[in-house]
Amino acid sequence: MKKIIFFFIIAISLASCMEVLDIELDDEDKLLVLNSLISSDTTIRVNISKTISSLDGDAFIKFINDAEVKLYEDDEFVEIMAKDTMGYYNSTVKPDLNKKYTVTVSHNNYPELSASCFLPNPVAITDVNVSIFIDTLYQTWIDPYTGEEIDTFFCEISGDGEASIYIDDPADEENYYMVSFSYIRPDYIWDEEGNIYITGYNEYSMYYDLQLLSDDYQYFNLNNTTQGYLITDALFNGMQYDIKTNIQTWELYDIFYDPFLEPIIYVHLYSFNKDVYKFAKSYNMYKDAASNPFAEPVNIFSNVQNGLGLLASYSCSSFAFNLNGLDF
């Protein structure tokens, strides 16, 4: 009993020595963060936020909505980008290939930051070879807009498929590629009687694995519907090359043929600049280190001067493969 009382007294004395420190961090101790991936398909849009300290008390992104963001093309001033919400700033410019784009950000509480990138040329897909085992099935759909019954042709797929994407890699330049597969399928609902109603059509991505002799590739998530593996042309610079993949074909279970849509797989070849590859590699290393208590800290790559983040670019070429050309 005396031991219990002794430890109780020690616990009380230690608690009485504790003091809560309220530490305030000035904005001067933080940095602006700029993030943007630009392509020739759409106007330039950037997001501006600020770094968060572990002592801030929350993990929410702190967006900056009162900065002045300027856009330059080949070092010539173009415009001040328009303020949007959630830290976004929009331009009216669609970027051109092989031109340099620079974004500068000014704010009263932070040093001015800047970042630049060049828009790479797309590399064409010369051919695609797809091997998928497909069974067929018919079912009747009802279009909710017209009430028309549609005899639908489904592709019931089992096992993994394979695809080969053929390219002619440009010589004497560093190229960084990512392959992506997608397909169009209907969104639908069932009524109480079991009828299927089409509510719309959307594009969905397909997951795949690379068949490479080298392990020098990096997973990269371009957006919510496009992800894949970044590879370099270090082993095939200036050569014809066949990018071999295994496609997870179970995702194609409801690709169908009807009068409005053909069963097509879309193959996309993205060309990125080197900074995207560096970012993806460092980010993947960071994620691995975060789950390993014995790993050394990893800094995520940034190409922003006086700040953090990534201003990078990509171009894309596409190839459509009709599943009707396959043997069922």
Question: Which of 100, 141, 98, 145 lies closest to 121, judged by CA?
Answer: 98
Task: Locate 254 and state its tokens.
Answer: 């409801």
Write down how long the chain is: 328
Strands 264-272 and 308-322: antiparallel
Three-state SS at 319: strand
Domain boundaries of the chain, sorted by first residue: 23-118, 125-325
pLDDT of residue 13: 45
Residue type, 79: E
Whether residue 245 is predicted with pLDDT greater than 90 in this model: the reply is yes
CB atoms near residue 167 (< 10 Å): 23
Give ∠ CA 191-196-197 in degrees, rounded to 5: 90
Average pLDDT value over all residues in the chain? 81
In angstroms, the CA 53 to CA 181 distance is 39
In angstroms, the CA 87 to CA 294 distance is 36
Question: Which of 161, 281, 136, 137 lies closest to 211, judged by CA?
Answer: 161
pLDDT of residue 259: 46
pTM of the prediction? Answer: 0.78
Contacts of 270 (CB under 8 A, 6+ apart): 177, 178, 179, 180, 222, 228, 314, 315, 316
Residue type, 175: N
Average of pLDDT values for 127-145?
71
pLDDT of residue 268: 94
Taking only the tens place, the pLDDT of each residue in 80-119 is 999 999 999 999 999 999 899 999 999 999 999 999 999 9
Chain-centroid distance of CA 76 in Å reads: 30
The DSSP line for 241-276 is EEEEEEE-GGGGTT-EEBTTB--EEEEEEEEE-HHH
The DSSP line for 144-205 is TTT--EEEEEEEEE-S-EEEEEEEEPPTTS--EEEEEEEEEEEEEEE-TTS-EEEEEEEEEE
Question: Which of 229, 307, 240 lies closest to 272, judged by CA?
Answer: 229
| β-pair partners for 83 | 89
Higher pLDDT, 177 or 258: 177
Q: Which CATH topology does 23-118 take?
A: Immunoglobulin-like (2.60.40)
Whether residue 216 is predicted with pLDDT greater than 50 in this model: the reply is yes
Whether residue 324 is predicted with pLDDT greater than 80 in this model: the reply is no
pLDDT of residue 308: 95
Task: Give the model's confidence band at 66: pLDDT under 50 very low, under 70 low, under 90 confident, else very high.
Answer: very high
Whether residue 1 is predicted with pLDDT greater than 70 in this model: the reply is no
